[in-house]
Amino acid sequence: MKLRFTKMHGLGNDFVVIDATHAPVELTPPRVRAIADRHFGVGCDQLLVVEPASQPGVDFRYRIFNADGGEVEQCGNGARCFVRFVHDKGLSGKREIRVETRSGVIAPRLREDGLVTVDMGVPELAPARIPFLSDSDAVVQPLPVGEVTVAITAVSMGNPHAVQVVADVDAAPVAEQGALIERHQRFPARVNAGFMQVLEPHRVRLRVFERGAGETLACGTGACAAVVAGMLRGLLESPVRVETRGGELEIAWAGPDTPVLMTGPAVSVFEGEMELE
């Protein structure tokens, strides 16, 4: 069976996007892994599937699969690409779209200047809801990782994040520590591991070792979680420019119980057709 797709990226976090609004597409974990494979497939960090909404008051449903085949709750860079995709494909005439994800409804808006602003919802800090196994709801918590103990802030942006502050993001042990944190026993659903260097109250550098994908060039929910963690620690003030290896995002947050707003680009690279086995 032939399947049409669009290759997209948000700051180099790359996606294969599939339009399943007219006919369902069956995506098993082996199929997702085959498509995401950078040598034998198309190659991507995440596969995004656009489907009809399943509830009233919502325009679409958008599903997210990591390169390892697992379906997950949220993807910030993907949300920006999603709205660009439905606009470019003529699937909706609206510039602001309400879309269901596994972790609730979010609202990406395609601006006249081509950037996309996404209301990413209210961050969740209660350990049980992240999920993070802890008896304490302290903002900064020790986490033993291999031979060292790091100080993390656990945040859910619909998906789980463990953010630590580092002196120099280029020297941070992202690959080694990221892999251990991702599968740490205190994160039963696994976790995205963020490494943030604070430059100024309104500017940080960030690298993220993503659950199910490894280090990516940028992580939208990771940027939101890092700014929330930095503001809760008293290190940052909104809005914050987040510099990733793939480019910059602007993150704004008015504080607890309010939604995080993320602004950045969304780019279509090419259209393709693949054989699905």
Ligand X SMILES: N[C@@H](CCC[C@H](N)C(=O)O)C(=O)O
Q: Which residues bind ligand X (CB under 6 A)?
A: 13, 46, 64, 66, 72, 75-78, 159, 192, 210-213, 216, 219-222
Tell me the C-alpha to C-alpha distance, in Å, between residue 98 and each of 60, 185, 229: 7, 35, 26
Nearest to 67 by CA among 89, 48, 90: 48
Q: Which is nearer to ligand X, 19 or 210 (CB)?
A: 210
Q: Which is nearer to ligand X, 18 or 147 (CB)?
A: 18
Known catalytic residues are: 75, 219
Judge whether 74 and 220 are in contact, CB under 8 Å.
no
- Quote the least distance from Cβ 65 to ligand X, whole Å: 9
Q: Which is nearer to ligand X, 6 or 77 (CB)?
A: 77
- Quote the least distance from Cβ 220 to ligand X, whole Å: 3
Question: End-to-end distance of the chain based on CA atoms, in angstroms?
Answer: 7
10 Å CB burial of residue 39 (0-12, 13-18, 19+) is: exposed
Rg (CA), the chain: 18
- Quote the least distance from Cβ 208 to ligand X, whole Å: 8
Judge whether 62 and 55 are in contact, CB under 8 Å.
no
Distance CA 83, CA 145 (A): 38
Q: Which is nearer to ligand X, 77 or 117 (CB)?
A: 77
- Quote the least distance from Cβ 158 to ligand X, whole Å: 8
Nearest to 236 by CA among 193, 204, 194, 195: 204
- Quote the least distance from Cβ 189 to ligand X, whole Å: 9
